[in-house]
Structure 1
Amino acid sequence: MEWLAQLSPLSADISLLLIALSSLTSMISASMGIGGGTLLIMTMAQVMPATALIPVHGLVQMGSNGGRMLMTLRHIERNALLAFIPGAVVGAIVASWLLIRLPEGVLELTIAAFVLLTTWGLKLPKRALGTAGTLIAGGVTTFLSSLVGASGPMVAAFIKQRSTQRQTTVATFAACMTFQHLTKAFVFGFAGFVFHDWLPLIGVMILSGVLGTWLGLRLLTRLSDHRFDVFFRLVLTVLALRLVWLGVERLMG
């Protein structure tokens, strides 16, 4: 257990918990399409310094999503990805200049409203799902992600509107999130965050996440598109409702 204690400023027990959770949450994201990253950041928020939470979570998620992207390359909707990346870069640059927080609760409620509307009611017009709309989505969600680390459900809800095939949804979402988290690494590096103390833990969590991704993709192949759609909507709804609760709680102080 001594090597676990040397992975990061955290205790050996906490490091072991996060490593195991990285595998579990990656399996959830690979099989359900979404949810793992939010569960991981919720847990990390309980045991990590606030200043390290978003940058460390971002790098771990970059590795996890990157592994899923490589395993599902042939299913990626490349036009969506190529439109998303430039927007993500612009969003990251803006975030690096501002690095501000909106009023407590407002951001969470805004994201939750978008997710619920696009999941259960609002259908985005075809123009919004085109190249320009995807570019804007990349910019906006990357900017929000750099502030609160909670944009995953928003990206997932947007990608789901573009595709009804489960493999395409999972693969394209993983690819978009990989590049979004990559840009966040530059944002926090630019802002002066020192990753060195956390890199060993991040590396082991990424390896654990790759294993979870492989297991989750095995489960995904056993789901029909209909079942996947139902599970995907339910998971997005639970995450959105959690953001509503968090947003109201923060607004009320």
Structure 2
Amino acid sequence: MDAFILGCISFCTSVITGVIGVGGGLLLIAILPSFLPANDLIPIHGLNQITSNVSRAYFGYKNIQFQVIPKFLIGSLVGVGTFACFLTMISLTYIPLFIGTYILLSLWSQSFNNKITKYENYYVIGFFQTGLSVIVGTTGQLAMVKLLKEFKDKDKVIATSALLMSLTHILKIIVFIYFGFVFHDYLSIIISMIIGSILGSYCGSKLRDKIKGEKLIFALKILLSMLAVKSILSII
């Protein structure tokens, strides 16, 4: 039953990201603590997000701005190696606390967002986006801010962001495999979520021009905030 439910949730969150370009990954990782142990949240979420982002990039392939990839990838490689060291220094029991705090700050603290986005350079963005994702799960809005300023076409922004996030999650999954995470233990859940992600990406790409993003974004922020608080309280 959990596999089916998570597949449906994965579908819905993938649709949201397909429509507005960001938010679905945050929503998914805020929901996962209700279904998965704390130690397994980030790797399962990361594997799912690879599928979601790769499929979204595929459906928008012609709009991807490939010139930004090399700089982002170099920063990502350095970042994932640096931040992976923290995994050996903290208890993964507190991952829900990191996730909930990060979500609340990202949604409501302008000073926090100003601090993490003012270094608008693809090397730096790759470093922090991929590095931080090892600890908090998803950080797609870091690159989104830069892409929105550089490209005015939302299809270019969403497709390029999807490819950058694919690289982020692929590198993150390599880290968790290195630390010995066994994905086979969650095979049915993973398959269900992958199917949901692909279908959601397809539907989101078709709905993008038919749904007003402003109302959806506001409702998403409220829901995310509630889930973030729940995530923080879950470790108390």
The TM-score with structure 1 as length reference comes to: 0.75
What's the % identity of the aligned pairs?
Answer: 28
The structure number with the bigger radius of gyration is 1
Structure 1 gap ranges (5+): 1-12
Counterparts of 1:164 and 1:118, CA distance in 2: 25
Q: 2:152 is paired with a residue of what secondary structure?
A: coil
Of 200, 207, 212, the residue aligned with 2:195 is 207
SS of the equivalent of 2:4 reads helix
Query: Residues 59-74 of structure 1: matches in 2 within 5 Å?
Result: 59-74=47-62
Deviations 1:222-249 (A, max 9, x none): 36xxx54x468647855885698579x6
Aligned-residue CA RMSD (Å):
3.4
**CA–CA separation in structure 1 for the residues paired with 2:35 and 2:165:** 24
Q: Could you tell me how far 1:34 is from its partner in structure 2?
A: 1.3
Kindly provide the CA deviation profile for residues 39-90 of structure 1, in whole angstroms up to 9, marking residues without a partner as x: 2112211111111111011001101110001111111122223321221121
How far apart are the structure 2 equivalents of 1:74 and 1:36?
22
Q: Is 1:117 paired with 2:105?
A: no
Change (3 A) 1:239 1:152: farther
Contact 1:153/1:239 (8 A) holds in 2: no
Closer, same or farther in 2 for the Cα pair 1:120/1:87, shift >3 Å? closer
How far apart are 1:28 and its partner, in Å? 0.9
1:157 is displaced (CA, Å) by 3.3
Q: Provide the residue aligned with 1:55 in structure 2.
A: 43
TM-score by length of 2: 0.80
Q: Counterpart in 2 of 1:75?
A: 63
Matched AA of 1:16: F
Tell me what 1:220 maps to. Answer: 208
Deviations 1:96-134 (A, max 9, x none): 333144998678656755665399989x77xx44xxx11
Paired AA for residue 54 in structure 2: G
Single out whichever of 73-82 and 148-157 deviates more from structure 2: 148-157
Residue type at the aligned position of 1:83:
K
Q: 2:151 aligned with 1:163, yes or no?
A: yes
Aligned residue identity for 1:86: I
Matched ranges for 1:167-206 at <5 A: 167-206=155-194
Counterparts in 2 of 1:235-250, with a 5 A limit? 238=222
Aligned positions, number: 229
